[in-house]
Amino acid sequence: MNKTIEVKLTSWQRRRLQQVRDHPPTPRIGKRAVCLLLSADGANSKLICKVTGLSKDAITDIRRRWQERGVASLRELSRPGRPPKVTAQY
């Protein structure tokens, strides 16, 4: 049985996540911010799944990366494989 990873936020981190949630650079980063804010408020994974559409595994990964890297965990990392043909200009 997996133990839920607890998310604790300082007031600065909460404000920063709220800014990212309200003006996300990408939808994926916005979902991460929502996940972390809800987690810090004590929401369970099932509720966060409903709100964000993320899987329970994705929520666990987001929480774990937050504990390891803090705000830096929101950034997009390069993805393996061929780059997409559709660009932002499209």
DSSP conformation letters of 1-20: -PPPPP----HHHHHHHHHH
Question: If you average pLDDT over every residue of the chain, what do you get?
Answer: 91
* 23 domain residue, yes or no: yes
**Which token pair is 76?**
């997009």
Q: Is the pLDDT of residue 15 over 60?
A: yes
* 80 domain residue, yes or no: no
Which three-class secondary structure string do you get for 35-52? Answer: HHHHHHCCCCHHHHHHHH
Maximum separation of any 2 CA atoms in the chain, in Å: 45
Q: Could you give the percent of the chain with pLDDT greater than 70?
A: 98
Q: How many domains does the chain have?
A: 1
Query: Exposed (0-12), middle (13-18) or buried (19+): which is 36, by Cβ within 10 Å?
Result: buried
* 82 domain residue, yes or no: no
* 26 domain residue, yes or no: yes
Could you list the residue range(s) of the whole structural domain that residue 38 is in?
A: 11-69
- Model pTM? 0.83
54-76 pLDDT, tens digit each: 999 999 999 999 999 999 999 88
23-35 pLDDT, tens digit each: 999 999 999 999 9
* 88 domain residue, yes or no: no
